[in-house]
């Protein structure tokens, strides 16, 4: 991690939250979709993806953002997204993934998006947990 990225970790929490929000507005997106296929164990119409992704070619920068998220109580994972020559990519890119209801809720509460379309998608994603996930789990546990 270079010196500039280490310096970011010394910012106040409100500064880190604002930075992550701006970075996620530009380089990130809430991924929320339903699968229409009948492959595997999925049934048509059921939620197949709930995540926030942030993609960039600067791995040390994403590592710094990941550490800032950890400081806010938000867990994430860093993945290799594409290497040169794959999916029309000419440079290696990385993807930070925020998964799981609690992490998505913390992201919404502490960081959020400024982009109204992304705000709406994140709200719909979180609402779908109550609609599909939590209710069906409660019925199963009874």
The tens digit of pLDDT for each residue in 46-86 reads 556 799 999 999 999 999 999 999 999 999 999 998 888 77
Residue with tokens 């997204």: 81
Among 137, 70, 60, which residue's Cα sits nearest to residue 103?
A: 70
Residue 121 confidence (pLDDT): 93
Judged by DSSP in three states, 4 sits in helix
Kind of pairing between the strands at 77-82 and 28-34: unpaired
Residue 90 confidence (pLDDT): 78
pTM as predicted: 0.78
> Which helix (H) or strand (E) covers residue 103, if one does?
helix 101-110
User: How far is residue 3's CA from residue 8's CA, in Å, rounded to a whole number?
Assistant: 9
Residue 138 confidence (pLDDT): 44
Residue 54 confidence (pLDDT): 96
Among 21, 80, 85, which residue's Cα sits nearest to residue 55?
A: 80
**In a structure prediction context, what are the per-residue pLDDT tens digits for the chain, which is 142 residues long?**
676 788 999 999 999 999 999 999 999 999 987 655 555 544 544 556 799 999 999 999 999 999 999 999 999 999 998 888 777 777 889 999 999 999 999 999 999 999 999 999 999 999 888 654 444 444 444 4
Domains defined along the chain, listed by start: 3-141 (3.10.28.10)
């Amino acid at each position: 991690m270079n010196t500039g990225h280490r310096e970011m970790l010394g910012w106040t929490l409100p500064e880190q939250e604002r930075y992550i929000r701006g970075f996620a507005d530009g380089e990130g997106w809430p991924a929320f979709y339903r699968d229409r296929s009948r492959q595997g164990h999925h049934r048509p119409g059921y939620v197949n993806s709930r995540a926030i992704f942030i993609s960039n070619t600067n791995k040390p920068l994403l590592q710094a953002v990941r550490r800032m998220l950890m400081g806010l109580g938000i867990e994430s994972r860093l993945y290799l997204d594409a290497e040169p020559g794959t999916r029309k990519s000419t440079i290696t890119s990385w993807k930070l993934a925020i998964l799981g209801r609690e992490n998505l809720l913390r992201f919404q509460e502490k960081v959020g998006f400024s982009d109204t379309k992304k705000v709406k998608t994140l709200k719909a994603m979180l609402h779908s947990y109550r609609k599909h996930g939590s209710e069906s789990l409660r019925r199963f546990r009874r």
